[in-house]
Structure 1
């Protein structure tokens, strides 16, 4: 099964979000509570000192999404006076493998929090069930924005560049963090439309929920998976997997369309991709120099041979030359235009 590689970081975590007076091996349980949690969540108590958040201090506001055994809700932290996103197990009957998926995601977020372009971990809840708490992104996903608004090019390029920076950070960790499900739905946007890469555990949830219409049996999204993924069932993912997905994501940013939207089923997409077909290039504008430049990078990213694809460092270098052509005033005006368009 393809999923982000496990991360064990020796670094002391960011202590934002620790409850007042937090003590103990998991960062915020009194002795009796810690012993109980150690029995229920043994891997949590022997690993990093996560910030512990009391679940009862979170007031649910709405459900943002559901997976196979987890859901995401928007909540209000009653003490912090701020909105947060909470990813919880659907049931209180803990299965070790399910809790481990969510816990593994928390570990990656704890490390990724050091990047400005990866969603951060505010803390974890242990009771009544395991949950991870993240900042609430008020501007939703990049997919939603592209669907609703004709985003000005200056802002599109800034977001593309920030995605490349976030992925560069993840790939530079030792060991590396591979996302394996990079797409517009998994790129969140904060209040100023800055990028936050998210959903490191989503692909495994999709497998468990048996959602396979747009995902492979192993969980990664069919439309964004590279040809080698379909040709070798025993494939171990590499950084070039994410680079290929980024190429398709750049196509999404340029066209505001759904890749392979006319395909009848996932089997046709598999066949097309392995034979060298890609998302429709006729939808790419040909009258803009910046679009042409990014389109060239896009096509290199989704090269049939993994060795021909660039690193994310190279992608970031390419995209900074594109985004630097826009001034800060251009980007601010783009944000204003997007906010106005969303109100209409």
Structure 2
């Protein structure tokens, strides 16, 4: 069990995560979505015990009932392999270009599980088979540049799975992949989660991938979780103005490209940009871009309302 209990992360410029509470149990599949700068990757770093040194944390990070908020690096290091694994965004940057990929995946097996070279090599081949990497023995002897983007991503998945974690965090795992390969990677993550009984946290801008692979979703903006609930429920019936804006901005291949006058239609967009930390409002972080904003929204921080847990007083009044 992993839990964030009223976690806030603050830098000199301002608060990057604000009073986040989140529980992840074995077998859960959670999607985290939002614009760049919303705090998604920072939240994942906190689950890994890898918050930046310049950050000040308040609240608790719990692992199996133990408060790890003040744990040092020596305490966190074995947990990162044995309890939580992470797939990073860009495989070519995450893999050492000077090492064969098999050696990279074997390293945590030898370091954390104490396997000798022969046993580690055999385990690497088994992991490559599990992530459907073709000709695994030959691939293990290759360098990253000799593999395709999808194959490199499968190597990273194998690396994250090496020590049998109970939680797998995938941070934008399909960003650099074409649509067909991205689809296969997403399906593989779901397959592995089901097969291993492993929790999955998928951080993505790709709402289609999140819809396909998760049971719950948390929508983040400016360090707040502004809406959360069942994935199908949130994506098909959004309530928070920000969630509605994200979904409205998705390209829809089923919709006509042109309006009735034959002119090409423009996708709707959320006005403005995500402000820097120093420019975030004390109240609702979405104020200044919100179509239903009220005068007190900038100064009064909203609380979560209703079973959907939407952080917007206007929505709460409408639902009531």
TM-score by length of 1: 0.25
**Structure with a larger share of its residues in strand:** 2
If asked which structure has higher relative contact order (CA below 8 Å, sep 6+), I would say 2
TM-score by length of 2: 0.26
**Structure with a larger share of its residues in helix:** 1
